[in-house]
Chain A
Amino acid sequence: QVQLQESGSGLLKPSQTLSLTCAVSGGSVTSGGSSWVWLRQVPGMGLEWIGNVYHPAHTYYNPSLKSRATISIDKSKNQFSLNLNSLTAADTAVYYCARGSNWNMVKRGWFDPWGQGTLVTVSS
């Protein structure tokens, strides 16, 4: 079955750019019908959807993060990535990648499976 694994920078300073990658195994990022999603969770609090990408490069973003977030697919490496710029302490969270059940994840769909998550801390 599909498995996801996040990797990337864990400790960043304010104003820097976060770069995370999600490696996909057991499936292809080019497979039809699925989208590839980034979410985050502030420790002890609720989840926040960041956005998702559908092969080759159709993207959908949370309006509150759209100006700072970029999600892309690298089909040669079977992975997808998240860049989030102009970081502040409020961006400190566990970041998860997941597979979306629909191609655009607008109005309906579910997130399954999820990666194990990676903690990103923004601190001066």
Chain B
Amino acid sequence: QSVLTQSPSTSGTPGQRITISCSGSTSNIGSTYVYWYQQFPGTAPRLLIYTDNERPSGVPDRFSGSKSGTSASLAISGLRSEDEADYFCAAWDDSLSRWVFGGGTKLTVL
């Protein structure tokens, strides 16, 4: 059971805007930054969003992050078939004194 809660799956059609949510608590998302990672099957995760809403160089501006209270969201606009992957959220948990992750959301592009 993951400390951060994500829906197991979501889907969208090309060109659509979708959001993936990540729910936590006051000891993690509510008091620290959120990070998002993208993972294609059989490959290592890749940093997608850092410190809530910043994009590393090379990540398209179609990807954006936001946070409110104890929840965070990853939005993908102009959905493309190559966005089909698993997406994980991560945050530091002050109570557990460790990094915690969401269980991941599998995005299917129909």
A110 touches B44 (CB 8 A): no
A48 touches B101 (CB 8 A): yes
Task: State the CA gap A64–B98 with chains docked (Å).
Answer: 9
CB neighbours of A111 from chain B (8 A): 35, 37, 45, 47, 90
CB neighbours of A116 from chain B (8 A): 43-44
Q: Look across to chain B and name the residue whose beta carbon is closest to the beta carbon of A96.
A: B44
8 Å CB contact of A107 from B35, B46, B94, B104: B94
Give the size category of B's interface with A: 20 to 34
Q: Among the interface residues B43, B88, B99, B104, which one has the most CB atoms of the partner chain A within 10 A?
A: B99
B51 touches A45 (CB 8 A): no
A106 touches B103 (CB 8 A): no
Q: Among the interface residues A48, A101, A110, which one has the most CB atoms of the partner chain B within 10 A?
A: A110
Number of residues of chain A lying within 8 A (CB) of chain B = 22
Task: State the CA gap A110–B36 with chains docked (Å).
Answer: 9
8 Å CB contact of B44 from A46, A105, A107, A117: A117
Indicate with 1 or 0, residue by residue over A38-59, a CB within 8 angstroms of chain B CB atoms.
Answer: 0000000111110000000000
CB neighbours of A64 from chain B (8 A): 98
8 Å CB contact of A47 from B33, B45, B51: B45
10 A-B pairs closest in CB distance: A49-B99, A114-B44, A112-B47, A47-B101, A110-B50, A46-B103, A46-B2, A62-B98, A46-B101, A107-B92
Q: A47-B90, A63-B97, A111-B35 are in contact. List 20 more A-B contacts (CB 8 A).
A: A46-B102, A46-B104, A47-B37, A47-B88, A49-B99, A49-B101, A62-B99, A63-B98, A96-B45, A101-B50, A107-B32, A107-B92, A108-B51, A111-B37, A111-B47, A112-B46, A113-B44, A113-B46, A115-B44, A117-B44
